[in-house]
């Protein structure tokens, strides 16, 4: 299925769920169906989704809304069947920003907590680990205790193990080769 159709199907499911949330009864959700949806770069490891506002829009302005949003973008790996529940939550989160809840204050967090799939709201850390693993070219390894972490750059001896205080060693991660 094409990415655009996956995003539109995702939008439809999220908007249907949002319409069933009592706390959003006073919000006009219709303009959310017009916001362009897109993807982040595949090598993004810290950003899972983003609500990009039009140039000149200040997020601190109390009157922002869906017409001030240029695009909502999700990480392309979140669109896979494995992460589809988390992608729904991400889109919900970004749609809350689009509705004018720009910051992560108490009112935003209360609305965010209304998402019915609690497990999906907790998948962020696991998804971040998944992204770092997929993008890693190196593994930083402690020669003393064996602790290791995937990284996209070499440590070059600049970092120490937190527990052993020994310089971390770079280990190359083998990239799977294509079978012809």
Could you tell me if 31 and 109 lie in one domain?
yes
Is residue 145 in a domain? yes
Range of the domain at 153: 136-172
Where does a domain end: 130, 145, 162? 130
Q: How confident is the model at residue 140, as a pLDDT?
A: 93
CATH number at residue 91: 3.30.2010
**Residue 179: is its pLDDT beyond 80?**
no
CB atoms near residue 59 (< 10 Å): 13
Query: Residues 9-15: what's their mean pLDDT?
Result: 97
> Is 75 inside any structural domain?
yes
DSSP 105: -
Q: Are residues 108 and 40 in the same domain?
A: yes
- Give which of 4, 3, 8 is closest to 91, Cα–Cα: 8
Tell me, yes or no, whether 17 lies in a domain: yes
Residue 37 shares a structural domain with residue 110: yes
Q: Is 157 found in the same domain as 126? A: no
Q: Tens of pLDDT along 25-74?
A: 999 999 999 999 999 999 888 899 999 999 988 887 778 999 999 999 99
Query: Facing residues of 167 across strands?
Result: 160
User: pLDDT at position 1, please?
Assistant: 65
The string of pLDDT tens digits covering residues 75-131 is 999 999 999 999 999 999 999 999 999 889 999 999 999 999 999 999 999 999 999
């Amino acid at each position: 299925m094409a990415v655009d159709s996956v995003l539109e199907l995702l939008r439809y499911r999220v908007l249907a769920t949002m319409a069933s949330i009592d706390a959003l009864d006073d919000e006009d959700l219709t303009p959310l169906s017009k916001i362009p949806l897109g993807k982040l770069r595949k090598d993004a490891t810290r950003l899972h989704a983003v609500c990009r506002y039009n140039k000149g829009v200040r997020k601190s302005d109390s009157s922002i809304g869906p017409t001030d949003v240029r695009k909502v973008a999700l990480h392309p790996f979140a669109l896979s069947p494995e992460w589809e529940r988390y992608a729904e939550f991400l889109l919900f989160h970004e749609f809350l920003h689009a509705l004018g809840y720009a910051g992560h204050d108490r009112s935003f967090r209360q609305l965010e907590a209304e998402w019915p799939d609690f497990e999906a709201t907790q998948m962020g850390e696991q998804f971040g680990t998944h992204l770092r693993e997929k993008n890693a070219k190196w593994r930083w390894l402690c020669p003393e205790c064996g602790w290791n972490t995937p990284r996209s750059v070499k440590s070059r001896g600049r970092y120490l193990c937190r527990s052993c205080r020994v310089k971390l060693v770079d280990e190359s991660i083998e990239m799977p080769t294509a079978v012809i």
